[in-house]
């Protein structure tokens, strides 16, 4: 089978949901040639991919834009690699990729859209402008690939071409995310957490959309009603002791002795395994990787009602309205009570992984992308 030359155009290559999924897609697809163009600098995943032998280019688009340098770089990429498909990530990648597809006459154009909301509350004005321009250009791609039905509905209602819509959920690598007792023992030992301590986990960068405030308020309310031994581990960019605003929230909720701040961590599998319950409090998501990865490790989750969460979580009663710390606190109590019933807790854990195996294995998702790329050539 002939390998297809695929250029991924993405705004950033720092650690994030879209970036992580793109890395896995590139890294796992051995049937095609992949190379990457980042609109900013190479970032974490760009450097990682280069070390693994992939061609990664950066344009460093910004205030000090050198137009002639950009054109020079693009000419080099298209002459040397001759891409047959442009896989354009997020709005800025979609807009940029569409414009250069006209110039370089590339017909295999795909957009990969990950947002599930388009409003001023959750989206920057500059991003909304680019999203609207994409709606105007949405007849051009072969397909617009959304990772949830919620995302598709939002964009079709905002003027995106319905005929181009395709939904492919995120896939999870079951050989990388799995239950591991050694992970649990080792990390708890390092962090000095006894096995008997109930551990909550929150994996999200420091950003208003991740709503750490609701998380901490719900835990403070939970603490006021329960006299049990518990900790919460916060992981993500900016989730460290140097974050003054985060420290203010923690102290203000009287949770200083409960919170463990680990900052950015590349190995999240050990974290999911060390935890008893993963928390998601975002006010906007499309298809949260954190939920699927945690479930693959058999760690149950509770979540705000965002994106495709209802299609992921087995227990719909463990989903709470956005910013509702009272409801979230009540669900935390339910989780604690369930863990006191070993048979039911083990069933909850095993069913979590089973759902990911049935519906969201990475192999199934990758085959869908490969089929669509092949059909466009």
DSSP state of 317: G
367 and 293 fall within a common domain? no
Name the 3-class secondary structure at 250: helix
Q: What is the pTM of this model?
A: 0.83
Collect the ranges in the chain with pLDDT lower than 50. none
132 and 218 fall within a common domain? no
Per-residue pLDDT of 144-189, as tens digits, reads 999 988 899 999 999 999 999 999 988 999 999 999 999 999 999 9
Q: In what order do the strands lie in the sheet with 56-58?
A: 56-58, 33-38, 5-10, 85-89, 108-113, 143-146, 165-167
Closest CA to 358 of 151, 160, 172: 172
pLDDT at 125: 85
pLDDT at 124: 78
pLDDT at 15: 81
Per-residue pLDDT of 322-332, as tens digits, reads 999 999 999 99
159 and 244 fall within a common domain? no
Please give the tally of structural domains in the chain: 2
Parent domain of 276: 181-359
118 and 245 fall within a common domain? no
Closest CA to 10 of 95, 72, 84, 82: 95
22 and 43 fall within a common domain? yes
pLDDT at 312: 86
Mean pLDDT, the chain, rounded, equals: 93
| C-alpha 6 chain-centroid distance | 22
């Amino acid at each position: 089978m002939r390998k297809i030359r695929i250029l991924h155009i993405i705004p950033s290559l720092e650690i994030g949901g879209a970036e992580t999924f793109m890395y896995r897609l590139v890294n796992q697809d051995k049937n095609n040639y992949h190379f990457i163009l980042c609109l900013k600098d190479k970032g974490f995943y760009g450097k990682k991919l280069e070390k693994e032998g992939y061609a990664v280019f950066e344009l460093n688009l910004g205030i000090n834009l050198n137009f002639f340098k950009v054109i020079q770089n693009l000419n080099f990429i298209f002459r040397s690699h001759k891409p047959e498909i442009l896989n354009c990530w997020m709005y800025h990648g979609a807009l940029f990729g569409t414009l250069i597809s006209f110039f370089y006459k590339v017909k295999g154009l795909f957009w990969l859209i990950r947002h599930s909301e388009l409003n001023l509350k959750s989206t920057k004005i500059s991003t909304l402008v680019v999203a609207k321009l994409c709606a105007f250009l949405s007849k051009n791609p072969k397909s617009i690939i959304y990772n949830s039905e919620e995302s598709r509905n939002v964009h079709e209602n905002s003027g995106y071409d319905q005929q181009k819509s395709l939904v492919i959920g995120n896939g999870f690598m079951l050989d990388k995310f799995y239950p591991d007792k050694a992970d649990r023992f080792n990390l708890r030992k390092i962090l000095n957490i006894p096995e008997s301590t109930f551990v909550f986990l929150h994996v999200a960068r420091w950003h208003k959309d991740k709503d750490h405030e609701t998380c901490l308020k719900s835990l403070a309310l939970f603490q006021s009603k329960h006299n049990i031994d518990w900790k919460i581990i916060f992981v993500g960019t900016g989730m460290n002791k140097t974050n003054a605003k985060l420290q203010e929230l923690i102290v203000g909720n009287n949770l200083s002795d409960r919170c463990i701040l680990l900052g950015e961590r590349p190995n999240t599998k050990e974290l999911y395994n060390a935890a008893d319950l993963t928390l998601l409090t975002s006010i906007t998501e499309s298809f949260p990787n954190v939920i699927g990865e945690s479930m693959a490790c058999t760690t149950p989750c509770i979540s705000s009602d965002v994106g495709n969460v209802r299609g992921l979580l087995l227990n719909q009663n463990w989903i709470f309205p956005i910013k509702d710390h009272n409801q979230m606190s009540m669900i935390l109590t339910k989780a604690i009570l369930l863990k006191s019933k070993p048979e039911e807790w083990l069933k909850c854990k095993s069913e979590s992984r089973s759902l990911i195996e049935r519906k969201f294995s990475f192999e199934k998702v990758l085959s869908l992308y490969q089929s669509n790329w092949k059909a466009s050539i």
